[in-house]
Amino acid sequence: MTGPSEIAVGGGPLAPADVVAAARGGARVVLTAEARSALARGRARVRALAERDTPAYGISTGFGALATRHIAPDLRARLQRSLIRSHAAGSGPEVEREVVRALMLLRLRTLATGHTGVEPATADALAGLLNAGITPVVREYGSLGCSGDLAPLAHVALALMGEGEVRDAGGALLPAADALRAAGLDPVAPAAKEGLALINGTDGMLGMLVLACHDLDLLLRTADITAAMSVEALLGTDRVFAADLQELRPHPGQAAAAANMRALLAGSGIVASHRGADCTRVQDAYSLRCAPQVAGAARDTLAHARTVAERELAAAVDNPVVLADGRVESNGNFHGAPLAHVLDFLAICAADVASIAERRTDRMLDTARSHGLPAFLADDPGVDSGHMIAQYTQAAIVSELKRLAVPASVDSIPSSAMQEDHVSMGWAAARKLRRSLDGLTRVLAVELLTAARALDLRAPLAPAPATAAVRDALRARVPGPGPDRHLAPEIDAATALVADGTAVAAAASVAPLV
How many separate helices (H) and strands (E) can be counted in the chain? Answer: 20, 9
> What is residue 63's predicted lDDT score, i.e. its pLDDT?
66
> What is residue 147's predicted lDDT score, i.e. its pLDDT?
82
Mean pLDDT by 10 residues, the chain (514 residues): 74 94 97 96 89 73 69 79 94 98 98 95 98 98 91 98 98 98 96 92 97 98 98 96 97 98 98 82 91 98 98 93 88 93 98 98 97 97 97 98 97 87 94 98 98 98 98 98 98 98 98 95
> Which residues, including other chains, have CB under 8 Å from residue 167's CB and lie 6 or more apart?
97, 134, 135, 137, 173, 174
Is 57 an annotated catalytic residue?
yes
- What is the DSSP-derived secondary structure letter of residue 373? P
CA distances from 58 to 70, 71, 487 (A): 10, 10, 57
**Cα radius of gyration (the chain):** 26
**pTM assigned to the model:** 0.95
Q: Which domains does the chain have, with CATH numbers?
A: 6-201 (1.10.275.10), 208-508 (1.20.200.10)
CA distances from 497 to 189, 215, 337, 355, 364 (A): 47, 14, 35, 20, 21
The β-bridge relationship of strands 6-9 and 28-31 is: parallel
Q: How far is the C-alpha of 399 from the C-alpha of 247, rounded, in Å? A: 33
In single-letter form, the type of residue at position 431 comes to: R
Q: How far is the C-alpha of 421 from the C-alpha of 230, rounded, in Å? A: 50
Instruction: Reply yes or no: is the peptide bond before residue 320 cis, omega within 30 of 0.
Output: yes
The total of other beta-carbon atoms located within 10 Å of residue 12's CB is: 15
